Structure formats: structure tokens, C-alpha cells
């Protein structure tokens, strides 16, 4: 922690914004996993670090770093039982994921993006349920389910339930032509 804080004296938000964001992200993880001290205070410090990193680490500038920072923020907010903030970060992650999905070059890139968002979607479902917002919980759950199905279908090796063998063969033929 002391090393990250020392680095931030040089890696300032204005002089070296990306290095600043990376160092804040790493400092946040250090606080998040710190085995000593008051757990909630450590989480508050981690959350503050992630929020500082996100001031410069935006989806336009560094989408993967932004996704990782948002994921870490989502996880620590969940640990703090800050359900509204969990839903906010889940929504931001969904928007980022949808953009990455549209830009995915191949199935493996799509699968990696989906696998990275699933834990946050799960936290979002729980947060919505804890807030009594069952419509949002169901919407997030359906989104996660549809993304999983889309990833399976893009791979083309798992026939979804309730799809006829004939339709599945036709789909695989189309998929083969696309590749």
C-alpha cells in the first residue's frame, strides 16, 4: 500500500492519467484484500480508489481496464451491501459488455467478455432482489441467461433445448458458412 501511495505522488491524474488509474486500481485491490484493520474501512478505501480510477479510465479510453475496475467496484460494493450502487455498476458493466460484444472479432472474444460479466450480473440480481425490485432482478437474470445461450449457439456445439434436430442442423450449416 505504501508503494502504491508513493507511486501516486508521481503518477498523478493530470500528468499520467492511465498510470494513475492503474495504480489506483491496484491500490484498491490491495485495500480490498487487506487482512488487517477494519474490513468496512478497507472496503471504503478500495471503493474510493476505484472511483478515482474511473474518472480517467473510461470505456472510450481503456475499455478493458474500465471493465476490470467496474467489476472490482461492483464486488466491493456488494460486500458493503450497497445494493443501489451495485445496480448502478451492473448497468454500467452491461452497457460496456454490449459494446464489447458488438465489437467482438470472434467467438472466443465474445465468450471471454461474457464470462467476465456473469459474476457481476449475479450480484446485480441479488442486489435487485434485496431491494425488492424483482422486475430488475428478472431482467438481469434473463440477460445473463440469453448471453449464455448466445455464447453457446455461437460456438455451435451445444444444441439448445426445444430446438429440433433439423433446425439445429440448418443453423450449424449457416454458422459454418459465416466462419
- For residues 149 and 115, give the distance between their C-alpha atoms in angstroms, rounded to a whole number: 12
Write down the pLDDT at residue 168.
76
* 104: its cell numbers: 467482438
- For residues 104 and 120, give the distance between their C-alpha atoms in angstroms, rounded to a whole number: 20
* 119: its cell numbers: 459474476
* DSSP-derived secondary structure letter, 16: S
Residue 132, Cβ density class (10 Å: 0-12 exposed, 13-18 middle, ≥19 buried): exposed
Write down the pLDDT at residue 125.
92
pLDDT digits (tens, 9 = 90+) for 106-149: 767 777 777 788 889 889 999 999 999 999 999 888 877 776 66
Residues of the chain with pLDDT under 50: none
Write down the pLDDT at residue 69.
97
Write down the pLDDT at residue 126.
93
Amino acid at each position: 500500500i505504501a508503494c502504491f501511495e508513493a507511486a501516486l505522488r508521481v503518477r498523478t491524474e493530470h500528468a499520467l492519467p492511465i498510470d494513475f488509474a492503474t495504480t489506483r486500481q491496484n491500490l484498491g485491490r490491495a485495500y480490498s484484500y487487506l487482512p488487517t484493520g477494519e474490513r468496512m474501512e478497507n472496503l471504503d478505501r478500495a471503493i474510493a480508489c476505484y472511483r478515482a480510477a474511473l474518472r480517467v479510465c473510461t470505456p472510450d479510453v481503456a475499455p478493458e481496464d474500465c471493465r476490470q475496475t467496474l467489476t472490482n467496484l461492483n464486488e466491493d460494493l456488494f460486500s458493503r451491501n450497497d445494493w443501489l450502487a451495485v445496480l448502478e455498476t451492473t448497468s454500467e458493466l452491461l452497457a460496456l459488455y454490449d459494446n464489447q460484444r458488438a465489437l467482438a472479432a470472434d467467438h472466443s472474444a465474445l465468450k471471454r467478455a461474457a464470462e467476465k460479466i456473469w459474476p457481476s450480473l449475479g450480484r446485480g440480481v441479488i442486489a435487485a432482489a434485496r431491494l425488492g425490485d424483482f422486475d430488475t432482478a428478472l431482467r438481469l437474470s434473463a440477460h445473463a441467461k440469453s448471453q449464455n445461450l448466445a455464447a453457446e449457439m455461437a460456438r455451435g456445439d451445444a444444441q439448445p433445448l426445444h430446438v429440433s434436430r433439423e433446425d439445429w442442423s440448418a443453423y450449424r450449416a449457416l454458422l459454418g458458412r459465416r466462419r
